[in-house]
Amino acid sequence: MAASFISGIGLTMFMSSSYTSNDPNHVVVANQIDNNTFISQDNGTVFAAVNPNTNRIYLANEVSNTVSVVDGNDNAKIASIQASGLPLKLAVNPDTNRIYVTEHHIVNNIEQNGTVTVIDGSNNAKIASIQVGAYSQISVNPDTNRIYVTEHHIVNNIEQNGTVTVIDGSNNAKIASIQVGVNPSGIAVNPDTNRIYVIHHYNKINDKWQNGTVTVIDGSNNAKIASIQVGVNPSGIAVNPDTNRIYVTNYIDGTVSVIDGNSNTVIGKPIKLDFGVEGIAVNPLANKIYVANGITATVYVIDGGDTGSKVDEIRKLFAWNVAVNPVTNKIYVPSYFFNNLSVVDGKHDNIMTVIPIGMYPD
């Protein structure tokens, strides 16, 4: 079902043997016989999200201020949508075919409130703009047609408690504001349980890094029901709705914390990877987790079974984010530094194609 295709940072998968293009504006797609294809894009792609129902991939390009649209059937770029500000993050509701883009705005070097631009996936038209806070993250529950946006609040250079704004996707109206802790960043939804997960990272105290937390929200009444301690500087979060497991990357620790969504407790010890882990996505059909690390230029593949162990590494992928289409078993890896999108065959974890995108895709 469509609900199984949603994760906090996109839909993601990766492969073991890697291919990189010398052209800094290309994306790679791999097939099972290691053929390579090159696809033109915009500049600066960092973030990707997938609509598995239409097999469209959406990419936020921070430098060119555009959202690229790629047809997953032939890896052709079919549209470039001009953003009103700096596009940061994306979320897709596959049931309504709506794409949500958080945008950052600066006027005269002064940070302004951000916006969420709503795009109709049937014609790539912008149909609404919703004011939110700055540097917002976003996730969607397709079953309830609710959109969740994290917002930072700073007063006199002091970080205040953040909020999660709830948007009704049927009319694009803000219907609730949920107060959470400071520095709310990544957000993910389990549509099967109607739970929302928000990660918080904390600054040093007495020159010592503090562990981050995950706030759990009940989507039926917007009540906070739990706070779970994870590792230092959590930066990415994704959910497998089929197993009710939540995965959190801890940037400083170089680990992945695994949370049991039934009990809201951390399972065992964190999975050890490398310093700098950030973007994360889940393929619920394969029960694999993909973790991007732009520092080591690696995408790690984790077995979501009981072992929770790292099973593979895809090298030479300079990415902070990953996205998965579980229907086609393709994984999409945008490269911030090389302005491309790598497409990976999820069955064999081999890169199929590199597609040129835009400057600093996210």
Q: In the numeric block, which tokens belong to residue 71?
A: 């047809």
Find out whether 159 and 181 touch, Cβ atoms under 8 Å. Answer: no
Query: Is pLDDT of 3 > 90?
Result: no
pLDDT in tens, 95-107: 999 999 999 887 7
Query: Is pLDDT of 327 > 90?
Result: yes
Q: In the numeric block, which tokens belong to residue 246?
A: 């939540």
pLDDT in tens, 108-118: 777 778 999 99
Amino acid at 163: T
Predicted TM-score (pTM) of the model is 0.87
| DSSP track, 256-306 | EEEEETTTTEE-SSPEE--TTEEEEEEETTTTEEEEEETTTTEEEEEE-ST
pLDDT in tens, 23-70: 333 333 332 222 223 333 454 456 899 999 999 999 998 888 999 999
Find out whether 72 and 94 touch, Cβ atoms under 8 Å. Answer: no
Max distance between CA atoms of the chain, in angstroms, equals 57
Q: Would you state the CATH architecture of domain 2-356?
A: 7 Propeller (2.130)
Q: In the numeric block, which tokens belong to residue 147?
A: 């959109």
Amino acid at 206: N
Query: Is pLDDT of 20 > 90?
Result: no
Read off the pLDDT of each residue in 321-334 and give the average, rounded to a whole number: 95
Q: How confident is the model at residue 1 (pLDDT cuts 50, 70, 90)?
A: very low
Please state which of the ranges 147-156, 182-191, 303-312 shows the lowest mean pLDDT: 303-312
